[in-house]
Amino acid sequence: MFKKDLEILVTALCVVVLLFFADFNSFTKTFSSINSDLENAKQSEFYKSYSNFKESENSFWAGVKGTKSNAGDVANVLNETPVTEAPQPKEPEQPQKLTAPLKFLLVGDSMMLVWFGPALENSLLKFNGVSVVREGVYSTGLNRIDYYDWFTKTDELIAKNKPDVLVIMFGGNDGQGMLDKNGKPHDFGTESWKEIYHQRVNIYLSRFSPKVKKIYWVGHPITGNESFLNKFQTMNSIYQSECAKFSNAVFISTWERFSVNGEYRQTIPDDDGLWQIAKSSDGVHVTEFGGKIMANFVIKEILKDADLK
């Protein structure tokens, strides 16, 4: 009886082994086919283009580092008196447009340094009688004044260059906890945080509105990064409401320009209908193509107030 059971067991094991190798052979063939398809895909021009884009993008952003400088005193800045009510200017019968010669001062963070800033500068310089000064510092804004003081720096730039128009874009790094003038911390998104940030934007505009003919505050475009989505919406709302309090300040919303049917897309069309990658993989920064789209959009807004040829 034992011998018979042993024979049955050995037979069963043999069958299992044969089935395993049969399936394994089939699996190996399937895997080889998939692997071959992947290798062919990697040789395609689309994949090579995408790989080159990702490699250059990762290499660039890996080298981006802020450098602490021009640190300011939060208490001194926040002791300034903000403007609390929207002005009621008398509208002239024929609004006076900005005319050349015009000097533009562009200030901001990484967006003003890379792609958008250079594209805007190059576009402005195509107009007769226009000169441009551009200043950008990575990882800066109106929050960490102890890290970089844009209030003092903008004062210095205006005193030195005497611009007619100020174009601003920063805030991507401001969506974090913030200290008030007494050193008390406030978490992002709380009502107290919003109040303090309102105050900082207001003080910035109050300080520089009298020193230039026009201010354009460029808002954040729609983002594919979920952690930045609420931050950008919150800050854009603050920029818009504070700009409304100054007769010579304009908030430029770029949110919808970088969306497709109201949704975030990494690839969007330019003004000629050409579709390309406009946002980097972080969902926040623009590509060279996206920078040109944003620059063209801002230029159109500026030309509503300026007579340039």
Nearest to 86 by CA among 260, 223, 247, 232: 247
Interacting residues of 70 by C-beta distance below 8 A, sequence separation 6+: 148, 149, 152, 153
Looking at the domain assignment, is residue 9 inside a domain?
yes
Do residues 18 and 78 both lie within one domain?
no
Looking at the domain assignment, is residue 62 inside a domain?
no
Do residues 160 and 24 both lie within one domain?
no
Looking at the domain assignment, is residue 114 inside a domain?
yes
Do residues 19 and 167 both lie within one domain?
no
Amino acid 3: pLDDT:
45
Q: Are 113 and 138 in contact (CB under 8 A)?
A: yes
CB count within 10 Å of CB 152 equals: 17
Looking at the domain assignment, is residue 61 inside a domain?
no
Looking at the domain assignment, is residue 84 inside a domain?
yes
Do residues 93 and 27 both lie within one domain?
no
Do residues 157 and 257 both lie within one domain?
yes
Do residues 38 and 75 both lie within one domain?
no
- Tell me the residue range of the domain where 119 lies: 70-307
Amino acid 29: pLDDT:
53
pLDDT in tens, the chain (309 residues): 444 455 555 566 655 555 555 554 554 555 456 556 656 666 766 656 655 554 554 444 444 434 444 666 666 777 776 665 555 444 444 568 999 999 999 999 999 999 999 999 999 999 999 999 999 999 999 999 999 999 999 999 999 999 999 999 999 999 999 999 889 999 999 999 999 999 999 999 999 999 999 999 999 999 999 999 999 999 999 999 999 999 999 999 999 999 999 999 999 999 999 999 999 999 999 999 999 999 999 999 999 999 999
- pTM value is 0.76
CATH code, 192: 3.40.50.1110
Looking at the domain assignment, is residue 213 inside a domain?
yes
Number of domains in the chain: 2
Do residues 150 and 224 both lie within one domain?
yes
Do residues 245 and 281 both lie within one domain?
yes
